[in-house]
A and B are shown apart, each in its own frame.
Chain A
Amino acid sequence: MSFTFDRRNFLRFAAGGAVGVATSGVSLKGISTLNAAIDSELVRVPSGPESWATGVCNMCPGGCGLRVRLIGNRAVKIQGNPLHPINRGGLCPKGLAGLQELYHPDRLRTALRNTGTRDNPRWKGLSSDEALGLVSERMRKLRDAGEARSLVVVDRQRSGLLPRLLSRFMTAYGSPNYVTMPTGMDALQAAIYAQQGVSEQVAYDFSNSRYVLSFGVNLLEGWGAPVAMMRAFSRWRDAASGRRAKLVQIEPRFSMTAARADEWVPIRPGTEATLALGMAYVLISEGLYDADFVREHTFGFEDWRDAEGNSHTGFKSLVKSEYRLNDAATVTGVPADTILRLAREAAQNRPVLAIGDRHNSSLPGNVYAAMAVHSLNGLLGSIDVPGGVLVQQQLPGQALVSNAKDPLLPSAQTHVANAGELPQAIVSKRPYPMQMLLLNQVNPVFALPNGAAFRSAMKDVPFIVSFSAFLDDTAVLADLVIPAPTGLESWQDGGTPPTVANAIVSISPPAVRPRKDVRHPGDVMLSVARSLGGSLAAALPFAGYEEFLRNEVNGLYTAQAGAVFGSTLEDSWNRLMERSGWWAPSYSNADELWQQIKKQGGWWEPAYSHGEWSHVLRTKSGRFEFYSQALADLAKQRRRTEKIEDRECLPHQPTIPEATTNFPLLLMPVEQLPLAGGEGAHLPYLQQIAGVHVFANWDSWLEIHPETARTFGIGDGDSVWIESGRGRVQARARFYEGARPGVVHLPLGYGHKSGGEWACRGVNPLEIVEEQPDPVTGLPSAHWTYVKVYRA
């Protein structure tokens, strides 16, 4: 890479790389811009006594606990809650930037009603009570007209107590359409369902694993529960733990995770499944797999016959015939001796975790590729063992009600009802038209690969309500926008974050008085329930969200298990006790539990029972299925035939689209921690620390290998067009030797069209990616877009 490491660049690098510098507000580029980000209220020196409050970070699904320092009623500092089992006092840059979100000048101050059209909105301010009345009125009319099912709620989070409230609301109201935004883990989740039969979230015991094979997963860049992941990463390198785990990062690009891994294995894009199956070939050929587990707890390893006497291909035959070592090496570009070594190392360093197919926190991968990777976990006996793949514990209390009956979205069949399918459902009006859309702090127009289709489809929805703190790309198309509070202004709760096994409930009271006329979505829905009365009010008989939370805590108490957040020592103690069949709570009644939760930040289940096969292997066979009978049933049901190919049920390498003459370069969008999940661009602190590896921030950049760039006559820093069959966007080219020749990368999270001054910078790569719905789940995938790049 051509780069002069002069004093100015050095300072920029230091500023971007050091979170402390970034979050202290010391800006080295555009200090005036940063200063402008600060609400005028902050200029006044706060007065009053110092105090500390607990909080729950809602900047990402990571579920960290917060400690908030207050001077008077002014929150002046955020840090991690040392008692919280997820982050133990740590916090990532996004969490630290939560303070800037609280005081953000672009936050909505009141509810807004669009009195114009969707294309040409005219916003009129109204009180939150007036907004509530509007929502109630529309919902009443809908229900009275017998069209309750045509209400759709799109929720931001999947765990915690607010989803429980919303789900209960929808069930009582009469709609099966409670859906969530797709996440990067959805394909993997579908693979877990196919092979283990569980719909609970998959979890990984990273801390106790000895060998981690990451097939393109951006483990250290905002994936899963970022701070918990960082803590596990540090544990792998902690000499006191007595052993060092090895992280192998397999992906085409030299990502931040690859840079910090023990070994980076560059691979031809999209061939991760072949590599996984090539490793399986080695394990099987050399007898290195866990024969006991395979014999006792798996199905479809060997060739088999069904009840009708039809023979089927087993995993072993598939691997031995189609994924031989040399073939795998040819397809993946990974030398055969590397594949051989990785397989042997994995077999010798159990417990092993194999994670993938490639995904970041917002773009799902391919289900068959995820099955290929997960099959390594089955082969190596990593299912539900310490250091292996676990199944997330369910929270005590009333479980989420299944809404799968008569749903609007077909993906409910595979336990992943996602908003990506809504545009088609809205436009087709099948199986019935959507009459009302309620968006809870989501921005699908920006965040979905088919955001443009979503935007277009929204025109067909008669009434749209958005809970949002900002007038973002989606809220700006709504009929009614109700300002959502930021994490510090209202009762907050968080559930078990992705990839974490132990059930967790984080709860915190408001740390500061609301700065705007905001309403918590939970309070709004409870008010609507009261207003509509009848069975809806009976299902949610709570005066407010605090009362709802209090009621849920009663459920935790009734469970007679778990513990309030405590020190690591207390957690160890509680874990010892529960493992041995004893429960020694720090509280004697539900009131004490509630008070302790408010003070310490939450409740969790510190112990996990391994090897409860009936719980973690709920397939038709009760075993880990290399050959997924669930996929067989799904294929038969969809195609209404008994004749299906074995290939449809077995892990395999998905077809890789070829580059064309017109579009010779592969575009792979990438994610980085500051803007993980596509969120955070509205916060200047995060803009400042993004893109440090290419010395670019506050704007999009195109990562391109210098050789590739020269081929196309592009220089470092040139403004270029990136054009696909869908359209084109403009960014500045940055030479990056970590990019594979022939592959270019655009960062996700940039390019908002609405949402404030700082959010609307750069370009959104999702505007030009070619969407390829997954053949099994229908999940939106955006990993295969060929583009051409030329100077602007």
Chain B
Amino acid sequence: MIVIANRRSWCVLLFAVAALAVACVLVAVPLRAQGGGGYFIPGDPKAGMRSFFDKGCARCHSALGEGGHSAPDLARAPTGHLSSAELLAAMWNHAPEMWEKMRIEGVAPPKFAETDMANLFAFLYSVRSLDEPGDAERGRRLLQEKRCLECHGVGTEGKRQAPDLLKWAAYRNPVSWIQAMWNHAPAMQSAMAARGVKWPVFDGNDAPDMIAYIRRSAPSAAKPAYLRPADPEAGRKIFREKGCAACHAVGHGSRTAPDLRSRTLPRTLGQFAADMWNHAPAMRASMQARNIARPQFTNKEMADLIAYLFAERYFEPAGSAERGARLFQSKGCASCHRSGGAGPDLAGASVSPIHIATSLWNHGPVMFQSMQQQQVAWPRFQPGEVVDLIEFLGSKAAHRRDSGGRQ
């Protein structure tokens, strides 16, 4: 976890947004509160959606199709899971292009309060984790390719050795599907082995696509069955109580199975659930070897569990202040942001991705203009570099620099 330079102010911010978080829905993008052990979103996704529209982001960008269409859909691009630092890096690197487009269109860049930005980050993080309605045509091909129809039927298609998948056509959420499949995985594994069917692996949008096809094949519009908002706090308990922690660590070093904080996450909750399915045979074997009972889940439990793991991944693991110090020099930040420089001295500042993103919008256009005049290139950052830089700025080393120490 990132070490925040000014813990007191950070905690105040957390306290303020915690109340909002209680009412939040779905993917509570959590932050481990200092000392509290609770999981709270540092912002309200729904209020963030308001910022997305009110601040004018939606004039060009959309989020899963809601909003404008002249700029990328921020729920889909960039691809893959983005932590808050990665969101910041993407925003920072593309800021000059956005400002230039706004200038051409005569639109003033919006200003943000930190709360607005926290909400916006919460919204983007949440909406990016949502699965999209699938492509039924692709789903049909996948059901064939993955040989699902050698046991299951879908209406008139497929075999009858296993239940007709139309039975679950009402399920709209891929997590519900994967949960049902997970619980029956051992039986399915045996059946597949008997038929020589390879364990099907689901990538990307495979699961929603197949679900879309099954829903499309239902003889009438089934009453949709949705999942209720997931609770990461409950997910944390499930992680312990279901025995996941016996093999997996979450940010406390490697055990026999991958540390789920360091593992690359898929973009959506459904894709994460599919990842569990993909590894089900290996996990089962490992559990059998260690005499651990294989956990069963309700669909809510699985949703809570995944929400918890997503919550853990809002922040990147701690960066390196040393690397940050070098970046501060090499990216040209130090030429202005120093005592007596053209920009404010950043030493000892309360920094976080949200804080930097707020500053980016409130001061960035002027900074960019100034840099253009001085023919200084806008620095680009890799997500890890952002983390290092934040680590540096928040570190005691920065304080020492402020008091005359050398970097």
Q: Point out residues on A near B: beta carbons under 8 Å.
A: 240-243, 393-394, 396, 559-561, 569-570, 572-573, 575-584, 609-615
Of all chain A residues, the one with the shortest Cβ separation from B75 is: A576
Least CB distance, A378 to chain B, in whole angstroms: 18
Q: Note all chain B residues with C-beta closer than 8 A to A609.
A: 133, 215, 221, 224
Interface of chain B residues 197 through 221 with chain A (CB within 8 A): 212, 215-221
Of all chain B residues, the one with the shortest Cβ separation from A613 is: B216
| A240 to B62 alpha-carbon distance, docked (Å) | 12
Q: Note all chain B residues with C-beta closer than 8 A to A570.
A: 46
Known: A578-B224, A583-B226, A609-B224. 15 other contacts (CB 8 A): A242-B69, A394-B221, A559-B223, A561-B223, A575-B66, A576-B63, A576-B64, A577-B130, A579-B130, A580-B131, A581-B174, A581-B227, A581-B270, A609-B133, A613-B216
| A113 to B178 alpha-carbon distance, docked (Å) | 66
Contact string against A for B residues 45-86, beta-carbon threshold 8 Å, 1 for contact and 0 otherwise: 010011001000001000110101110000000000000000
Q: Are the C-beta atoms of A579 and B225 separated by less than 8 Å?
A: no
Q: Are the C-beta atoms of A612 and B218 separated by less than 8 Å?
A: yes
Question: Given A611-B216, A614-B217, A584 and B229 touching (CB < 8 A)?
Answer: yes
Q: Are the C-beta atoms of A580 and B217 separated by less than 8 Å?
A: no
Is B132's CB within 8 Å of the partner chain A? yes
Is B331's CB within 8 Å of the partner chain A? no
Q: Are the C-beta atoms of A560 and B216 separated by less than 8 Å?
A: no
Is B122's CB within 8 Å of the partner chain A? no
| A174 to B176 alpha-carbon distance, docked (Å) | 44
Least CB distance, B62 to chain A, in whole angstroms: 10
Q: Are the C-beta atoms of A561 and B63 separated by less than 8 Å?
A: no
Q: Are the C-beta atoms of B226 and A396 separated by less than 8 Å?
A: no
- Please list 15 pairs of residues, one from A and one from B, whose beta carbons are closer than 8 Å in the complex, sorted by A's number: A393-B221, A394-B221, A396-B223, A559-B223, A569-B46, A575-B66, A579-B130, A579-B132, A581-B131, A582-B229, A583-B226, A583-B227, A583-B228, A611-B136, A612-B216
Question: Given A580-B131, A582-B173, A614 and B226 touching (CB < 8 A)?
Answer: no
Of all chain A residues, the one with the shortest Cβ separation from B53 is: A569
Q: Note all chain A residues with C-beta closer than 8 A to B171.
A: 581
Q: Are the C-beta atoms of A242 and B68 separated by less than 8 Å?
A: yes
Q: Note all chain A residues with C-beta closer than 8 A to B136.
A: 611
Interface residues on B, range: 35 or more
| A615 to B220 alpha-carbon distance, docked (Å) | 5
Q: Are the C-beta atoms of B64 and A584 separated by less than 8 Å?
A: no
Q: Are the C-beta atoms of A584 and B53 separated by less than 8 Å?
A: no
Q: Note all chain A residues with C-beta closer than 8 A to B131.
A: 580-581
Of all chain A residues, the one with the shortest Cβ separation from B45 is: A573
Q: Note all chain B residues with C-beta closer than 8 A to A559.
A: 223
Q: Are the C-beta atoms of A572 and B49 separated by less than 8 Å?
A: yes
Q: Are the C-beta atoms of A580 and B219 separated by less than 8 Å?
A: no
Q: Point out residues on B near A: beta carbons under 8 Å.
A: 25-26, 46, 49-50, 53, 59, 63-64, 66, 68-70, 127, 130-133, 136, 171-176, 212, 215-221, 223-229, 270
Question: Given A584-B26, A611-B136, A614-B218, A579 and B226 touching (CB < 8 A)?
Answer: no
Q: Note all chain A residues with C-beta closer than 8 A to B70.
A: 242
Q: Are the C-beta atoms of A580 and B224 separated by less than 8 Å?
A: no
Q: Are the C-beta atoms of B68 and A578 separated by less than 8 Å?
A: no
Of all chain B residues, the one with the shortest Cβ separation from A570 is: B46
| A662 to B302 alpha-carbon distance, docked (Å) | 80
Least CB distance, A397 to chain B, in whole angstroms: 10
Task: Tell me which of A393, A578, A612, A613 has the highest count of chain B C-beta atoms within 10 A of its own C-beta.
Answer: A612
| A427 to B383 alpha-carbon distance, docked (Å) | 82
Of all chain B residues, the one with the shortest Cβ separation from A568 is: B53
Q: Are the C-beta atoms of A615 and B130 separated by less than 8 Å?
A: no
| A359 to B68 alpha-carbon distance, docked (Å) | 34
| A573 to B130 alpha-carbon distance, docked (Å) | 12
Q: Note all chain A residues with C-beta closer than 8 A to B68.
A: 240-242
Of all chain A residues, the one with the shortest Cβ separation from B137 is: A296
Q: Are the C-beta atoms of A560 and B226 separated by less than 8 Å?
A: yes
Of all chain A residues, the one with the shortest Cβ separation from B134 is: A611
Q: Which of A241, A243, A582, A612 contacts B26 (CB 8 A)?
A: A582
Question: Given A240-B68, A576-B127, A582 and B59 touching (CB < 8 A)?
Answer: no
| A615 to B224 alpha-carbon distance, docked (Å) | 13
Q: Are the C-beta atoms of A572 and B220 separated by less than 8 Å?
A: no
Of all chain A residues, the one with the shortest Cβ separation from B268 is: A580
| A722 to B53 alpha-carbon distance, docked (Å) | 57
Question: Given A240-B59, A561-B224, A582 and B217 touching (CB < 8 A)?
Answer: no
Least CB distance, B217 to chain A, in whole angstroms: 6
Q: Are the C-beta atoms of A577 and B25 separated by less than 8 Å?
A: yes
Of all chain A residues, the one with the shortest Cβ separation from B63 is: A576
Q: Are the C-beta atoms of A576 and B224 separated by less than 8 Å?
A: no
Least CB distance, B197 to chain A, in whole angstroms: 27
Of all chain A residues, the one with the shortest Cβ separation from B129 is: A580
| A490 to B349 alpha-carbon distance, docked (Å) | 62
Least CB distance, A395 to chain B, in whole angstroms: 11
Question: Given A240-B68, A576-B66, A613-B216, A582 and B130 touching (CB < 8 A)?
Answer: yes
Q: Which of B63, B132, B221, B225 contacts A615 (CB 8 A)?
A: B221
| A576 to B64 alpha-carbon distance, docked (Å) | 7
Q: Are the C-beta atoms of A569 and B176 separated by less than 8 Å?
A: no
| A559 to B171 alpha-carbon distance, docked (Å) | 13
Least CB distance, B335 to chain A, in whole angstroms: 40
Q: Are the C-beta atoms of A576 and B130 separated by less than 8 Å?
A: yes
A-B pairs, top 9 by smallest CB distance, nearest first, are A581-B173, A583-B226, A584-B25, A580-B130, A581-B172, A615-B221, A572-B66, A612-B216, A580-B131
Q: Note all chain B residues with C-beta closer than 8 A to A393.
A: 221
Q: Are the C-beta atoms of B172 and A578 separated by less than 8 Å?
A: yes
Q: Note all chain B residues with C-beta closer than 8 A to A243.
A: 69
Q: Note all chain B residues with C-beta closer than 8 A to A577.
A: 25-26, 130, 226
Q: Which of A560, A580, A610, A611 contacts B225 (CB 8 A)?
A: A560
Q: Note all chain B residues with C-beta closer than 8 A to A583.
A: 226-228
Least CB distance, B242 to chain A, in whole angstroms: 22
Least CB distance, B158 to chain A, in whole angstroms: 16
Q: Note all chain B residues with C-beta closer than 8 A to A575.
A: 66
Q: Note all chain B residues with C-beta closer than 8 A to A560.
A: 225-226
Least CB distance, A620 to chain B, in whole angstroms: 14
| A583 to B171 alpha-carbon distance, docked (Å) | 12
Least CB distance, B79 to chain A, in whole angstroms: 17
| A228 to B69 alpha-carbon distance, docked (Å) | 23
| A530 to B124 alpha-carbon distance, docked (Å) | 55
Of all chain A residues, the one with the shortest Cβ separation from B211 is: A581
Q: Note all chain A residues with C-beta closer than 8 A to B69.
A: 242-243
| A270 to B399 alpha-carbon distance, docked (Å) | 84
| A394 to B221 alpha-carbon distance, docked (Å) | 9
Least CB distance, B174 to chain A, in whole angstroms: 7
Least CB distance, A268 to chain B, in whole angstroms: 40
Q: Are the C-beta atoms of B226 and A578 separated by less than 8 Å?
A: yes
Q: Are the C-beta atoms of A581 and B220 separated by less than 8 Å?
A: no
| A611 to B208 alpha-carbon distance, docked (Å) | 14
Q: Note all chain B residues with C-beta closer than 8 A to A572.
A: 49, 53, 66
Q: Are the C-beta atoms of B223 and A580 separated by less than 8 Å?
A: no
Task: Tell me which of A394, A559, A572, A610 has the highest count of chain B C-beta atoms within 10 A of its own C-beta.
Answer: A572
Of all chain B residues, the one with the shortest Cβ separation from A575 is: B66
Q: Note all chain B residues with C-beta closer than 8 A to A576.
A: 63-64, 66, 127, 130
Q: Note all chain A residues with C-beta closer than 8 A to B59.
A: 240
